[in-house]
Amino acid sequence: MTDTVAPTPPWLDRYRASMMGTVTTPLALLVRGEGCHVWDADGTRYLDFLAGIAVNALGHAHPALVAAVSSQIATLAHVSNYFATPPQVELAERLRRITGAGDDGRVFLCNSGTEAIEVAFKLARLNGAGLNRAGGERPRILSLQRSFHGRTMGALSLTGQPALQEPFAPLVPGVEHIDSTIEALEAAMGPDVAALFLEPIKGEAGVVDLPEGYLKRARELTTEHGALLILDEIQTGIGRTGSWFAFQQFGIVPDAIALAKGIAGGVPIGALVTFGAASGLLQAGHHGSTFGGNPLAAAAGNAVLGEIESAGLVENAARRGAELRSLIAGIGHPLVAEVRGRGLLIGIGLSSPVAKELSAAALAHGLIVNAPNEHSIRIAPPLIVGDAELAEFRTLFIQALEATALEATA
Ligand SMILES: *Cc1c(COP(=O)(O)O)cnc(C)c1O
């Protein structure tokens, strides 16, 4: 596909000279977005089926979000935690309601997913500090291999990816990474476990579902041993999987869920929502954040959650997700081996390790998808997708599949 090597564009030279090299080379210089599309600096239009990794729930430049943020920043953008604001309280009440945490639920607002996980880590330690029924302590925290929970030291200690962890050892002690099987969980659980951290679907691992019955068994075992069940719904939450939160499809109630990505449509925000007795663990002075839940971010969250509700976007995610799944399977291309995930969080398992090539071909044809590993394509379009976007995706994805298959046989 690339016989001629294009010269490095000037923006990339400037990027490399000024930005710390912590991520892979950016794919394009994006300047504008509208609905499910974004445009680069050369005016090329892309269908965005990644949505900032499950962040832009309403697509780009949605009028409801633009209006809410514009009006809030012109009214009151930030105060300290010595004061409360109406958007902050409204967002906390809203999160309590849509999670089902209800009157016993409590919300901590922060600025990112990894920060929500850090609060959850403290929650686990507080549960661990209490004596278990036999009078012993709970030093252990369980998490899954190939999981992703973020990159700050506490969150990184929970992330089950040795390659990400090794440069930063020693990590926070007490975390054990177990296999994602019910047998491994049963073997690892005990009265010395403070908490179990789980993603209902492992997004960064390539949109990988847990085994059938896993969450139900995890709830039984954690309850039995007095450990907290803490779900990382940073990627799966906020309507993405076809229900407000993925756990709601498994007939369980967790002790806490970590949220971020989709809440405020791109304005940085994170939240930890606790259920029942877990709501009483964190006390005054235990945690804080300067920006967390400030009126600007909270107003953005209220606008996004309000629009998801009034426009029926949770239902749309379920319906369009099912359509996309059958559309992808229906293409019948030999590179597509399986379709995973729920709602609009979809993993496409490939029959050969060409995910990077396929996502590059998609981009060259005007379609943004993501390759979390060489065998998987992840798509997470805005929750507003409709017939037109699905049809456009089909056309562009077929072109990308054909270009990739051609290149592989060339
Ligand atoms: C994105 C993500 C995180 C980290 O969130 P940040 O906002 O990048 O800090 C943690 N867990 C999961 C499952 C995620 O998808």
Grade residue 410 by pLDDT with cuts at 50, 70 and 90: low
Closest atom of ligand 1 relative to the 261 alpha carbon? 7
- Alpha-carbon span 222 to 196, nearest angstrom: 7
Closest atom of ligand 1 relative to the 115 alpha carbon? 9
User: Could you tell me which residues come within 8 angstroms of residue 18 by beta carbon, excluding any fewer than 6 positions away?
Assistant: none
Catalytic residue ranges: 148, 232, 261
Residue 4 has pLDDT above 80, yes or no: no
- Alpha-carbon span 324 to 207, nearest angstrom: 15
> Residue 113 C-alpha to ligand 1 middle, in angstroms?
5
Residue 239 has pLDDT above 60, yes or no: yes
Percent of the residues in the chain that have a pLDDT greater than 70, as a whole number:
99
- Alpha-carbon span 93 to 302, nearest angstrom: 10
- Output the pLDDT for position 407: 81
Instruction: Find the mean pLDDT for residues 174-193.
Output: 97
pLDDT digit string (tens) for 48-83?
Answer: 999 999 999 999 999 999 999 999 999 999 999 999
Closest atom of ligand 1 relative to the 114 alpha carbon? 9
Instruction: Find the mean pLDDT for residues 376-396.
Output: 98
Residue 360 has pLDDT above 70, yes or no: yes
> Measured from the CB, is residue 140 less than 6 Å from ligand 1?
no
CA-CA-CA-CA torsion sign (343, 207, 369, 298): positive
Residue 270 has pLDDT above 80, yes or no: yes
Instruction: Find the mean pLDDT for residues 259-272.
Output: 98
Residue 377 has pLDDT above 60, yes or no: yes
CA-CA-CA-CA torsion sign (218, 221, 222, 227): negative
> Measured from the CB, is residue 266 less than 6 Å from ligand 1?
no
- Output the pLDDT for position 169: 97
- Alpha-carbon span 201 to 195, nearest angstrom: 18
Is 177:145 a contact under the CB 8 Å cutoff?
A: yes
> Measured from the CB, is residue 149 less than 6 Å from ligand 1?
yes
Name the residue ranges covered by the structural domains of the chain: 26-55+312-409, 66-310
> Residue 114 C-alpha to ligand 1 middle, in angstroms?
6
Grade residue 3 by pLDDT with cuts at 50, 70 and 90: low
Do 26-55+312-409 and 66-310 have matching folds?
no
Residue 276 has pLDDT above 60, yes or no: yes
Question: pTM above 0.75?
Answer: yes
Instruction: Find the mean pLDDT for residues 239-251.
Output: 98
The domain made up of 26-55+312-409 has a fold known as Aspartate Aminotransferase, domain 1 (3.90.1150)
> Measured from the CB, is residue 237 less than 6 Å from ligand 1?
no
Phi and psi torsions of 77, nearest 5°: -90, -35
Is 70:63 a contact under the CB 8 Å cutoff?
A: no
- Alpha-carbon span 170 to 153, nearest angstrom: 9
> Residue 155 C-alpha to ligand 1 middle, in angstroms?
9
CATH code of the domain occupying 66-310: 3.40.640.10
